[in-house]
Structure 1
Amino acid sequence: MNRIIKRIGAVLALGILAAGMFGCGLSQQKTDDKAKSANTAKKTYVVATRGTYRPYTYQDEKGNLTGYDVEILKEIEKRNPDLHFEFKLMSVSAGFLGLESKQVDIVANQITYNPQRAEKSIWTKEVNNYTASRLAVRKDRDDINSLEDLRGKTVAVVSTSELTRALKEFDEKNDAHINFIVTDKGTSELMNMVATGRADAAPVGEVTINDAAKTLGLDIKAAGPLILSVPTHFALRKDDESQKLADRLDVEVKKLREDGTLKKLSEKFMGKDYTVEQK
């Protein structure tokens, strides 16, 4: 009788163990299914950014991509588990070509409105920040404090910049005889030309001027009045799907503005609140 009872007990124990293993298997399967579902639901968008434009998009001492424009998208991703942004380093021009060829979904690099690019691209409506631009001059120069002081001077400019258009318009209207040196190498080249004396001045964002003087040791400073206070946005491809993404980014950036996150990011990376128009 004792043997029979022991056998029955053993059978019951095996049954309970099997049921437990089966239950664990179901639980693990559910976990795997949830993980698989989460991965499937997450949408990846490729973001083009230069990665060399401090303090908006650059690599820190550990090689991690950061900066004001980058951290806005990282914060949006953190708040939206179904979104993932994959950053690829490239020039702004390459980024816009990438939009057209569908290799890139977003260009994040202090993008300002450009009527030519607007034919094939769309911009988010919410403003990321305002780029306040002034004249970059050598620290030992006190003779350039206004646009009038540029008469007969050599000024370095970027060919596609709105600042270039503004200065050339001033030159034409006032017969200022400004000698323009045009480059396509970006603001770093402009500041180097000023620091080395190849140009008397260059129109550059004051944040960029101050950052270059501080972190790179360039012998330059911001001078003169505010030339432009230009709103910046994210640029996307001009199609229905991208418009939906742009609308969603607008909602998220608005939330960041309302809860103070955008201002905090501006103060962290740019030294003060540039999320409001500069005067």
Structure 2
Amino acid sequence: MKNSSFGKKVSVVAGLAILSLLAACGNNDDTASEEKASAWDEIQDKGSLTVATSGTLFPTSYREEGSDKLTGFEVEVVREIGERLELDIEFTELGFDEMLTSVQTGQVDLASNDIEITEDRAENFIFSTPIKYSYGTAIVRSEDLSGIKTLEDLEGKKAAGASTSVYMETAREYGAEEVVYDNATNETYLRDVAIGRTDVILNDYYLQTLAIAAFPELDIVIHPDLKYSPSEVGVVMNKDNDELAENVDRVIEEMLEDGTIAEISAEFFNGADATQKVNIDE
């Protein structure tokens, strides 16, 4: 009888221990769920989104001459996102490489600066529904196209740009010498090609075309034969901010459907609708 009574006590104690463990696991799961949702809750409580952008990339994020107001294609798209989410937008101006780090560490909620969607980035970040489609081009000197006929001719040339951009990856792939700037203005990039300090800038078609148009005095052109790497651009968010991403996507899809992003594109890209996919073989 004593052994039986002892056995019952052990069973009861063991059962209570298991229940305690299950309760603890349940509490941990609840806490984890609350933490996951907390980023969006905090944004709503704060009433604003913190957005990283460069402020130096015409025409997607820049200041008009003589003005302190930040504007540009993606700046205005983000402002509209904020309005539809009933959130204020607070811009933080950073260099390209620093933007992604700031999203990853949670220092900012979004980054928006013509950031292309790639497989590697998609493993580490959440990208919104694409807001822009484009392809790569090259800015070179007018007189000799900087000695470049094909991408293979990039070998040994000095290519200027952000170190972690997909365009610099292309330059490195073809053997170009990398020249990196710390959030420099378009004029600095373009002038350096014109005077021969660098040879080429690989970047997005829309940005390159309008950048050249803004500085007609410089002896540079878009290379007539180089079209490569069709691209998609989206807003970048922390990988854990699922709820934020869902809400951003919801309003972006509304803006695409009602033509708002196409209208903003036309304003900044000389009438072009960058929301439409492009065929570089045409």
Q: Same fold (TM over 0.5)?
A: yes
Q: Which residue is equivalent to 2:142?
A: 139
Label 1:198 to 1:85 Cα distance change in 2 as closer, same or farther (>3 A).
same
Selected match of 2:159 from 156, 177, 185: 156
Structure 1 position 211 matched with structure 2 position 210: yes
Q: Report which of the two has the higher share of strand.
A: 1
Q: Return the letter of the residue paired with 2:219.
A: D
Q: Which residue is equivalent to 2:194?
A: 195
Q: Return the letter of the residue paired with 1:138.
A: R
Which digits, 9 at most, give the CA deviation of each residue in 1:23-62, with x for residues without a partner?
xxxxxxxxxxxxxxxxx86721111111111100112232
Q: Return the letter of the residue paired with 1:77.
A: G
Which digits, 9 at most, give the CA deviation of each residue in 1:121-172, with x for residues without a partner?
2211x10102322110122335767415726661414332222333444x3x
Q: Return the letter of the residue paired with 2:178.
A: I
Label 1:186 to 1:63 Cα distance change in 2 as closer, same or farther (>3 A).
closer
Q: Secondary structure of the residue that 2:91 maps to in structure 1?
A: strand
Label 1:55 to 1:148 Cα distance change in 2 as closer, same or farther (>3 A).
closer
Label 1:237 to 1:41 Cα distance change in 2 as closer, same or farther (>3 A).
closer
Q: Which residue is equivalent to 2:234?
A: 233
Q: Return the letter of the residue paired with 1:104.
A: V
| Pairwise CA distance, 1:97 | 2.5
Q: Which residue is equivalent to 1:274?
A: 274
**Is the contact made by 2:96 and 2:183 (CA closer than 8 Å) also made in structure 1?**
no
Q: List aligned pairs for 1:1-279, cutoff 5 A.
A: 43-60=47-64, 61-81=66-86, 83-114=87-118, 117-124=121-128, 126-141=129-144, 146-147=149-150, 150=153, 154-158=157-161, 159-169=163-173, 171=174, 178-185=175-182, 188=186, 190-217=189-216, 218-223=218-223, 224-239=225-240, 242-271=241-270, 272-279=272-279
Q: Return the letter of the residue paired with 1:222.
A: I
**Is the contact made by 2:59 and 2:269 (CA closer than 8 Å) also made in structure 1?**
yes
**Is the contact made by 1:139 and 1:221 (CA closer than 8 Å) also made in structure 2?**
yes
Label 1:151 to 1:46 Cα distance change in 2 as closer, same or farther (>3 A).
closer
- Percent identity between the two aligned chains: 26
Q: Secondary structure of the residue that 1:46 maps to in structure 2?
A: strand
Q: Return the letter of the residue paired with 1:202.
A: I
CA RMSD of aligned residues (A): 2.7
Looking at structure 2, the residues matched to 75 and 263 of structure 1 have their Cα atoms a distance apart, in angstroms, of 13
Looking at structure 1, the residues matched to 78 and 151 of structure 2 have their Cα atoms a distance apart, in angstroms, of 40
58-67 or 192-201, which moves further after superposition? 192-201
Q: Which has the larger radius of gyration?
A: 1
Looking at structure 1, the residues matched to 71 and 146 of structure 2 have their Cα atoms a distance apart, in angstroms, of 37
Looking at structure 2, the residues matched to 63 and 179 of structure 1 have their Cα atoms a distance apart, in angstroms, of 36
**Is the contact made by 1:131 and 1:229 (CA closer than 8 Å) also made in structure 2?**
yes
Moved over 6 A (4+): none
Tell me the matched-pair count.
Answer: 229
Q: Secondary structure of the residue that 1:160 maps to in structure 2?
A: coil
Looking at structure 1, the residues matched to 96 and 212 of structure 2 have their Cα atoms a distance apart, in angstroms, of 24
Q: Output the TM-score relative to the length of structure 2.
A: 0.71
Q: Secondary structure of the residue that 1:225 maps to in structure 2?
A: coil
Looking at structure 1, the residues matched to 88 and 50 of structure 2 have their Cα atoms a distance apart, in angstroms, of 9
| Pairwise CA distance, 1:104 | 0.7
Q: Return the letter of the residue paired with 2:179.
A: V
| Structure 2 spans left out of the alignment, 5+ residues | 1-43
Looking at structure 2, the residues matched to 186 and 275 of structure 1 have their Cα atoms a distance apart, in angstroms, of 26
Looking at structure 2, the residues matched to 207 and 186 of structure 1 have their Cα atoms a distance apart, in angstroms, of 19
Q: Secondary structure of the residue that 2:264 maps to in structure 1?
A: helix
| Pairwise CA distance, 1:276 | 1.6
**Is the contact made by 2:168 and 2:178 (CA closer than 8 Å) also made in structure 1?**
no
Looking at structure 2, the residues matched to 236 and 57 of structure 1 have their Cα atoms a distance apart, in angstroms, of 18
Q: Output the TM-score relative to the length of structure 1.
A: 0.72
